[in-house]
Structure 1
Amino acid sequence: MRIQTIRKYFNLFILTLLFHTSIPAYAGKVVVAKGVSDIQDGKMAQAYKVALANAKRGAIEQAVGTIIESRTLVENFQMVSDQVFTSASGRLKSFQILEEGKTEDNLYQVTIQAEADVDGLIQQVDSFQKALKWQKKPRITVIIDDFSVEKDSISAEQVRNYLIDNLQDDKFPVYDLAPDTKLRGGFVIHLNVAKQQDESEYQGMKLTSNALAINARLTRADDQKILATASGAKTLPGASSSRSSRKAAKKIVKSIWQELRKELTQAWENEQYAARSMGLFIEDLESHQQAKDVVQAIKQTLAGVKSIELVSYDKGLAEFQLNYRGWPEQFVDELHSSVFSQRHFSSKVQRLAGNQLTIKIQ
């Protein structure tokens, strides 16, 4: 059968979700899916083969459709999804045919029950992303320690601004750490700034030198684990302390950022695929039953979620604890994927700080 014909009739491909069964991560996810194909020139065997392939593709889409959509850039979505779906049979632990045969519309239909290797599929999607140079930048917060602010708030804020400029030049999103900030850094860069001016005499001349030292510490926002450190110092002559410190700050910050950037990129690449514990809060729910329904919706559809439980519900606010394969931003993207929102609900982020996410159902 020609590729064009297969693609044409793949639009007839029907995905019917009969049920989802959440079972332990090592056992995969069990789904039921249907696939159809046109029957050309009475070739039933060929039609059966195509319908079965479409059913397998449907099973994969049900199992990890949100992952494929949420973790793929728009321009690369088709490339990644095609690669994953093409090797679908290799990621089905097992399948059995529930029903097959010719329909009244002269199509061949195959219904299967399949167990999908969710962990393996997620790893496969992630590997394609890496191969395609996919990288979504992590959120960064830059803060200055209290000692630096007390000693010289102007110089300290100057250093912070220079670092933010470097971050934004490299397309890293930067957020404040204020209590009312809806989005806060997934990583935090802590700065310590020390400035000193010394005067001396040489052959009757008065000499002034300005020393600036900057220490930086990169940590995760959720648990404050130190991932990297960098420091730099510079002494410049000049009677103008502010002018010399600005010049020194630019050079030191540039050097520090080049050093931290390598560690940050590596930490981001490693941790965005690791399983982590996350807290999810949903505001303005109508009932305790609605909170329970949220658990079932997430269990059934979000492939990255290994486990989720309702911790508490009180006056419309529900707290959930979940174990998620990936970074919090990826969980948000899965929630916002069309696969999830069309089946269950749309939501709006109220706050994302470290591994704590608060949303409101729309």
Structure 2
Amino acid sequence: MTDFSRGAVMRFHLLLPMFLLLAPTVLVAVPARGATAEAQTIIVSAEGLADPDAGIYRNDKGLLLDDLRADARRQVVEKAVGTLVESSTLVENFALIEDRVLTRSQGLIKNVIKESAPWRGEDGFMHILLKAEVFLSDIRDSLKELSRTQRISLIKEHGNPKISVAVRVKDAERGSEIPPERSEIAENILKQGISSFGYRVWSEPESGKAKDGQADFAISGEAKFKKVSVHLNASGLDVSKYVLTSWTVKCLNPLTGEEIYFNNQIPRKQSWNDEDAALADIGKLIAAEFTKDFFEDHLLSPSKIFQLQVSGLPDYDTGNLLKKELIGLRHMLNIEFRDFQAGQASLFEVDYSGSRENFVQSINEYMIAPLNKKFGGKTFAIDSARGDTVQVTFTPPAGEETATAFNRLPPAALYEAAPGRLQALAKDESTRAKLRELDPDFAAQLDSTPPVAAGGAKAAESF
């Protein structure tokens, strides 16, 4: 052995104990917050506002930008809360939710994806647009804890989702060219398990396309059997058994095409005396994959995507101004301006967190109404709402240019703002006077008396 080799070996023996001592530190990494598989996140876009004429900002423009960004983050978290809480519940319990959840916006936002340049609008406010990824699971945990400690129901009911079911069976002896057959026995067992949760269940359409049936979620399974014959020497009889060689199951979101869940199994030593008994057990095996908690935690999406077709937009810039207004509304999580046609139907893709049970009513209340309040008339009107497409007509406001009206008037989001936001936002008296002139509702909010503090006992109780 050379001197170099001997030195290397000696150094190795000297360093080995140190390496073994440090190895646990090196190999065991602490996962970052939100890095676990259970940490569900959603993407949310929002508009932040600030009053640049407020006295506290006159000598500190940096503070103005800080507060503008803070308001945008707060709106992002409020929108995320809105996916779990009904609007009426949010308004009624806003002070409580604000104190326990909204004030933690910094810790609830995983990362900021996009931020626009700030600008001062003709409405007198500073504006900024923000898109961020939010820890929805953390918000849900906070709301559950708040519901428990305050003995109030905050998290909204999930409604009654529609789930389609299809189970197909294939005989291994028939080869791959023969398509599998539907099994009503297995499907009915699976339906029975899911309907016990109170959900609506029906068979997948014969086309095999889950979207044809407009189901919220589609469960499909396939089982492969092999018929085995055994000769019993004692009796001289030939006995046939059905052996399950494999089965698969998956759950699909028909709207997005995302496979939310899938599983493959190759069972061992499972056989049945007849095919019907085997199919019944297959239905039970697949049903066991899905619990009520599974549906509530993983399947019931906090939002749905629909196509918004708006007719009558005079130019492309007006389309972008409408996009800006929609981003500010509470139930509009994300907006994409997909296609523009002057005077015809322009296309927006909307990620919407409002009610699915009364979808048209929800769209009218949370999108059309605040937009029309902004313009003071029936500027927007729903023409039709079918499936995942909503058609709306835009009639330009009379008396001024469309772009001027969009920019001069306050954001539509302020007409549906939670109590207290307007008071906190409009800090300068000139801004308040302008808002009072625009709308009686603004005047009522600005002139209302804040609730009296509950006192030390209440503060200590909830501390």
The 1:339–1:298 alpha-carbon spacing in structure 2 relative to 1, beyond 3 Å, is same
Distance in 2 (alpha carbons) for counterparts of 1:82 and 1:334: 27
Q: Which residue of 2 aligns with 1:83?
A: 96
Corresponding residue to 1:318 among 302, 327, 346 = 346
The 1:67–1:170 alpha-carbon spacing in structure 2 relative to 1, beyond 3 Å, is same
The 1:313–1:88 alpha-carbon spacing in structure 2 relative to 1, beyond 3 Å, is same
The 1:265–1:170 alpha-carbon spacing in structure 2 relative to 1, beyond 3 Å, is same
Q: Is the 8 A contact 1:143 1:189 kept in 2?
A: yes
Distance in 2 (alpha carbons) for counterparts of 1:63 and 1:334: 24
The 1:68–1:230 alpha-carbon spacing in structure 2 relative to 1, beyond 3 Å, is same
1:52-63 mapped onto 2 (5 Å cutoff):
none
Distance in 2 (alpha carbons) for counterparts of 1:308 and 1:258: 39
Q: Which residue of 1 aligns with 2:330?
A: 302
Q: Is the 8 A contact 2:228 2:241 kept in 1?
A: yes
Distance in 2 (alpha carbons) for counterparts of 1:120 and 1:225: 21
Distance in 2 (alpha carbons) for counterparts of 1:145 and 1:198: 20
Corresponding residue to 1:168 among 188, 192, 195 = 195
Q: CA deviation at 1:162?
A: 2.6
Q: Which residue of 1 aligns with 2:280?
A: 250
Q: Taking structure 2 as the reference length, what is the TM-score of the superposition? A: 0.43
Distance in 1 (alpha carbons) for counterparts of 2:290 and 2:47: 38
The count of aligned residue pairs is: 277
Q: CA deviation at 1:229?
A: 0.4
Distance in 2 (alpha carbons) for counterparts of 1:185 and 1:220: 7
Q: Which residue of 1 aligns with 2:251?
A: 218
Letter in 2 for 1:228: F
1:1-362 mapped onto 2 (5 Å cutoff):
29-30=48-49, 71-72=84-85, 81-86=94-99, 90=103, 126-131=140-145, 132=147, 136=158, 140-144=163-167, 150=178, 153-154=181-182, 156-174=183-201, 176=204, 178=209, 181=212, 183-186=214-217, 188-202=218-232, 203-212=235-244, 214-221=247-254, 222-225=256-259, 227-231=261-265, 234-237=270-273, 244-261=274-291, 264-265=294-295, 268=298, 272=301, 280-283=306-309, 285-287=311-313, 294-302=322-330, 304-313=332-341, 316-321=344-349, 324=351, 336=363, 338-344=365-371, 349-351=385-387, 357-361=388-392
Q: Is the 8 A contact 1:66 1:339 kept in 2?
A: no
Report the secondary structure of 1:254's partner residue.
helix
The 1:338–1:232 alpha-carbon spacing in structure 2 relative to 1, beyond 3 Å, is farther
Q: Name whichever of 169-178 and 197-206 sits farther off.
A: 169-178
Distance in 1 (alpha carbons) for counterparts of 2:135 and 2:97: 10
The 1:120–1:259 alpha-carbon spacing in structure 2 relative to 1, beyond 3 Å, is closer
Distance in 1 (alpha carbons) for counterparts of 2:354 and 2:264: 25
Distance in 1 (alpha carbons) for counterparts of 2:180 and 2:259: 28
Distance in 2 (alpha carbons) for counterparts of 1:139 and 1:74: 23
Distance in 1 (alpha carbons) for counterparts of 2:231 and 2:276: 24
Distance in 1 (alpha carbons) for counterparts of 2:78 and 2:297: 26
The 1:346–1:230 alpha-carbon spacing in structure 2 relative to 1, beyond 3 Å, is farther
Letter in 2 for 1:249: L
Q: CA deviation at 1:79?
A: 6.8
Q: Taking structure 1 as the reference length, what is the TM-score of the superposition? A: 0.53
Q: CA deviation at 1:313?
A: 3.9
Report the secondary structure of 1:302's partner residue.
coil
The 1:147–1:263 alpha-carbon spacing in structure 2 relative to 1, beyond 3 Å, is farther
Note the alpha carbon deviations across 1:323-351, whole angstroms, 9 max, x for none: x5979969x69953734342136766522
Letter in 1 for 2:261: L
5+ residue gaps in structure 2? 1-43, 52-71, 107-124, 148-154, 172-176, 372-379, 394-463
5+ residue gaps in structure 1? 1-24, 33-58, 94-111, 238-243, 352-356
Report the secondary structure of 1:181's partner residue.
helix
Q: Is the 8 A contact 2:82 2:330 kept in 1?
A: no
The 1:140–1:284 alpha-carbon spacing in structure 2 relative to 1, beyond 3 Å, is same
Which structure shows the bigger proportion of residues in strand conformation?
Answer: 1
Q: Is the 8 A contact 1:91 1:121 kept in 2?
A: no
Q: CA deviation at 1:301?
A: 1.0
Q: Which has the larger radius of gyration?
A: 2
